[in-house]
Amino acid sequence: MNKIITFLFVILVLNVSLINCQYGTPTFKIDNSPTLQLVKQYNQSQIYSLSSSGYEKPIIIANLTGTHYEMGFAAGYLMAQEAYENYNVMVGAVLPKTWEKDAFEKFLDWQWNDYLSKQITQNYLDEIQGYSDGAIASGFTQLGKTIERGVVISSFPGDPTENIEYLLRNELLGGFSDYLIRIDRLDVLSKIKEIISNQEEEDTTRSSKGLQCSHFSTWGDKTFNGDMFNGRNLDWLNGSGISNNKLITFYNPVGQYSHAAIGFAGLIGAIVGISSKGIFVAESDNDSVKVTFDGFAWSMRLRYIMENAANIEEAVSLWESTNNTMGMCHSLASATEASTAEHPAFALETMKGYTAFFSDNDPNEHYIYTDPKTGEQTQMGYPLDNAVYRTNHGYDETIRQNEWEPAIPNGDSWTRYMLFYNTFSYYTASNTTISELQAINITSILGNKHSIQDIYSSPAPFYDCTNAWMGYNIISSTFHFASNKMFVAFEEGFGQQRICAACGTYVEVDLTPFFGPF
């Protein structure tokens, strides 16, 4: 029987430039004893169900072993139906309302064929081919280009629908036109031009919708035993149905490091993950004006780092040897080096052709914002010892100059950044050591729990699960590698019965059966 404990958000006294108030409300649950059961297997790979009373349908655990082709083949053989279901759900969620599915898929194919597939490493191309071959071998013939199209959809920053429409209107129409001519689809080209010509002037902007993700790492004198704790929130495509096939994949590639990726069936990259060497990776959006898909698809790049890096130095080196696509923030951290490396974790701010690395207590994070109208100055950056954290804006000068929507005082991204700072500061001031509960609490607080259409300049909504069905948060995860554990919450349910991940149940996942003792 599952033992689930309900916790309250820690009551914080918020200070610095935020409102001095106290907030506390019923929130997340933790299931420390879910049931793991073998469902099926193919050669060296297995599918397990992870059952928790916090979820109507079990979480899928895929344990894939072999060459990349063999892992892909097993995934396709065992999960093609779920991958195909989720792809169609994603397309339904992001398809611009005036588009036809065929035109949209041609756009995805163009981005894959001419850009993303060019810099992705051969082993992942082999894995994708294996996925297709495995699906066919299982008797499922509908998969088609589902996997590579899923990589493209997940590679878009912010809200995919708005960004696709904006980029076509303003930057990519010429290249897409050439592609459609090349593949002799003038019918699609005619339709696209008609759609664009009918767009109203006010629709040519990009909004901050979808910019709600966050991640952190903390260690040293802030934590239990000096262990590293990591967290990540994904706020994206809420209520779309993609969470019907919740998935945690353990990849065990021959000759490389095992690694776990949390996500959904049909997405083979790492939205967030950790490796058997304790390398933690995560992402949050930060749209820039310099955009390209001529780089390493970020979700596959994070897997590439996990399976090849043994330490933080190697993780940084691998990052620097590969190319960015567009504006994002990332985390790279090494849990096994929390007490030995000078800088065991970094926050990365990226855009096309440029990455800025920030260690803990980095002086470059002490950014002072000057109001262009009043001249009033506000400190925007608050770095700390033994912690790195990011939401959806940057602090590097070059990054700030190229952000699509620069952060301002009391803006949504900065409000959430300050939630990190205030939470860490509260624990320090109260002599509270961050352990698993506190780390989950930090993660949960940052998850979006209300309508993402609202821009929050107050921390209050982040402590309130009253309207959790509206929250954009669909994955909320916390990692304690020193104890071989991670805690994963997904959105659950539909409509007004839906619960966003950060207000739901964090299921404890024991890494030992998949990574082994270390």
With tokens 């990190």, the residue in question is 420
Phi, psi dihedral angles at 270 (to 5 degrees): -110, 110
Whether 261 is covered by a domain: the verdict is no
Query: Residue 310's pLDDT band (boundaries 50, 70, 90)?
Result: very high
Query: Residue 174's pLDDT band (boundaries 50, 70, 90)?
Result: confident
Taking the alpha carbons at both ends of the chain, their separation in whole angstroms is 29
What mean pLDDT comes out for the span 489-495?
97
Whether 211 is covered by a domain: the verdict is no
Instruction: Give me the half-sphere count of Cα atoms (radius 13 Å) on the Cβ side of residue 411.
Output: 16
Complete DSSP assignment for 429-485:
HTTPPB-HHHHHHHHHHHS--S-TTS--SSSGGGG--TTGGG--EEEEEEEEGGGTE
What is the per-residue pLDDT for 10? 54
Distance CA 258, CA 307 (A): 6
Distance CA 313, CA 291 (A): 27
Query: Residue 517's pLDDT band (boundaries 50, 70, 90)?
Result: low
Instruction: Tell me the sheet residues that pair with 262.
Output: 248, 272
Whether 318 is covered by a domain: the verdict is no
Each residue of 371-382: pLDDT tens digit? 999 999 999 999
Distances in whole angstroms, Cα of residue 490 to Cα of each of 174, 269, 473, 506: 39, 17, 8, 8
What mean pLDDT comes out for the span 293-312?
96
Range of the domain at 90: 68-203
The answer, yes or no, to whether residue 79 has pLDDT greater than 70, is yes
Length of the chain: 518
The answer, yes or no, to whether residue 362 has pLDDT greater than 60, is yes
Query: Residue 100's pLDDT band (boundaries 50, 70, 90)?
Result: confident
Whether 408 is covered by a domain: the verdict is no
Instruction: Give me the half-sphere count of Cα atoms (radius 13 Å) on the Cβ side of residue 307.
Output: 24
What is the per-residue pLDDT for 3? 63
Three-class SS of residue 53?
coil
Distance CA 372, CA 353 (A): 28
What is the per-residue pLDDT for 157? 65
With tokens 């890096």, the residue in question is 309
What is the per-residue pLDDT for 114? 93
**What single-letter DSSP state applies at residue 322?**
S
Whether 437 is covered by a domain: the verdict is no
Each residue of 183-229: pLDDT tens digit? 999 988 888 888 777 765 444 455 544 457 999 999 999 999 999 99
Three-class SS of residue 23?
strand
Please count the structural domains in the chain.
Answer: 1
Distance CA 278, CA 300 (A): 18
Its sign, for the CA torsion 308, 314, 316, 320, is negative
What is the per-residue pLDDT for 200? 52
Q: Which of 162, 249, 172 is nearest to 509 (CA)?
A: 249
Each residue of 249-293: pLDDT tens digit? 999 999 999 999 999 999 999 999 999 999 999 999 998 876 678
Instruction: Give me the half-sphere count of Cα atoms (radius 13 Å) on the Cβ side of residue 317.
Output: 7
The answer, yes or no, to whether residue 17 has pLDDT greater than 50, is no
What is the per-residue pLDDT for 11? 45
Whether 475 is covered by a domain: the verdict is no
Distance CA 490, CA 468 (A): 12
Distances in whole angstroms, Cα of residue 21 to Cα of each of 10, 18, 26, 147, 463: 13, 9, 17, 47, 11
CB atoms within 10 A of CB 317: 13
Q: Are 158 and 210 in contact (CB under 8 A)?
A: yes
Whether 103 is covered by a domain: the verdict is yes
What mean pLDDT comes out for the span 158-180?
75
Each residue of 23-77: pLDDT tens digit? 333 479 999 999 999 999 999 999 999 999 999 999 999 999 999 999 999 999 9
The answer, yes or no, to whether residue 22 has pLDDT greater than 50, is no
Its sign, for the CA torsion 281, 361, 441, 451, is negative
Query: Residue 173's pLDDT band (boundaries 50, 70, 90)?
Result: confident
Average pLDDT, the chain: 90
Whether 92 is covered by a domain: the verdict is yes
